[in-house]
């Protein structure tokens, strides 16, 4: 069947970390609070597949990122700890360290040395405790990665000599432009909706690709080049991208020419 859109797409997986809450009771019923895997389908797979064989009963509860510190502080101040495990991003967990709301996980980290977790990520999960002691405050759970999905009908429009498995941003822009020129449609898309993860594409991929970092080179000549070239690329992006939080359905329905979404790694 001829596909009028949904020709190529990007997929992004959230970088998720988990930690234990200080003062949580060690009971048979574990409350796992997470800012990640919130959509119903993802949460159900977490409960029914990932946690299926865990020996203790787990109540997997999702929460909006902005409400995470509010809930943790409320339990801490009320003295009634019901949450044992928290899954969140580094930026969501770091503010909880000064509150002494997280339990150190040094012993657990020592047992996971054979799991192949990159040492850089483990180091990122450490913080300075009182008296200058460095402790492990969280364990990496999932690693973020953007992947590209392309409809085979888009392949003839690839730039000459381009490798579909190793595209440069210049080649991507040329590809999207060629598709638009030949079809009259803007068929490249990103998850740039209100709840989309476009910001992680910028932080984890676009910025480092051009500048070699995120924070320090945020204002730099390389960053200016990046934004200028990306603005040019955006001329071939489907304008509906700004309304999509996830792009699975638009891709399958043919509403998008290209898009990005989140997938567990």
- Pair 148, 9: CB distance under 8 Å: yes
Residue 159: the pLDDT is 92
- Pair 248, 39: CB distance under 8 Å: no
Residue 229: the pLDDT is 95
- Each residue's pLDDT, cut to its tens digit, for the chain (265 residues) gives 222 333 444 443 333 456 655 555 556 788 999 998 888 888 999 999 988 888 888 899 999 999 999 998 888 888 777 888 898 888 888 888 888 888 888 888 898 888 888 888 888 888 887 678 898 988 888 766 667 777 777 889 999 999 888 889 999 999 999 999 998 989 888 889 988 888 888 888 899 999 988 778 889 999 999 999 999 999 999 899 999 887 777 777 766 555 444 433 3
Residue 256: the pLDDT is 57
The tokens describing 119, both together, are 């040492």
Residue 254: the pLDDT is 65
223 SS3 class = helix
Closest CA to 145 of 263, 247, 41: 263
CATH architecture of 16-142: 3-Layer(aba) Sandwich (3.40)
Residue 22: the pLDDT is 57
DSSP 184: S
- Domain locations along the chain: 8-12+145-262, 16-142
DSSP 172: H
Residue 80: the pLDDT is 76
The DSSP line for 116-169 is ---HHHHHHTEEEPGGG-EEE--EEEE---EEEEE-GGGGGGSPTT--TTS--H
Alpha-carbon span 184 to 171, nearest angstrom:
19
Residue 191: the pLDDT is 86
Instruction: Provide, for the chain, the percentages of residues in helix, strand and coil under a 3-state DSSP scheme, each rounded to the nearest 5.
Output: 45, 20, 40
Residue 7: the pLDDT is 41
């Amino acid at each position: 069947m001829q596909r009028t859109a949904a020709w190529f797409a990007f997929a992004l997986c959230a970088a998720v970390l988990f930690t234990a809450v200080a003062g949580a009771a060690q009971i048979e019923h574990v409350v796992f609070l997470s800012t990640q895997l919130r959509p119903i389908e993802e949460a159900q797979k977490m409960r029914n597949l990932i946690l299926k064989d865990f020996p203790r009963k787990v109540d997997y509860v999702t929460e909006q990122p902005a409400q995470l510190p509010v809930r943790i502080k409320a339990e801490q101040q009320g003295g009634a700890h019901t949450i044992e495990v928290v899954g969140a991003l580094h930026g969501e967990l770091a503010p909880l360290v000064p509150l002494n709301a997280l339990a150190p996980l040094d012993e657990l980290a020592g047992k996971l040395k054979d799991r192949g977790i990159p040492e850089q990520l483990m180091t990122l999960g450490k913080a300075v405790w009182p008296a200058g002691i460095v402790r492990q405050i969280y364990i990496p759970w999932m690693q973020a990665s953007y992947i590209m999905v392309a409809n085979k009908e888009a392949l003839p429009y690839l730039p000459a000599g381009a490798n579909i498995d190793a595209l440069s941003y210049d080649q991507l822009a040329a590809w999207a432009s060629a598709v638009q020129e030949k079809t009259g449609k803007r068929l490249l898309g990103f998850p740039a909706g209100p709840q989309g993860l476009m910001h992680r594409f910028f932080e984890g991929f676009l910025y480092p690709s051009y500048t070699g970092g995120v924070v320090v080179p945020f204002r730099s000549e390389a960053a200016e080049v990046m934004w200028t070239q990306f603005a040019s690329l955006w001329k071939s992006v489907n304008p509906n991208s700004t309304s999509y939080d996830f792009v699975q359905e638009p891709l399958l329905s043919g509403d998008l020419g290209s898009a990005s979404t989140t997938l567990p790694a």
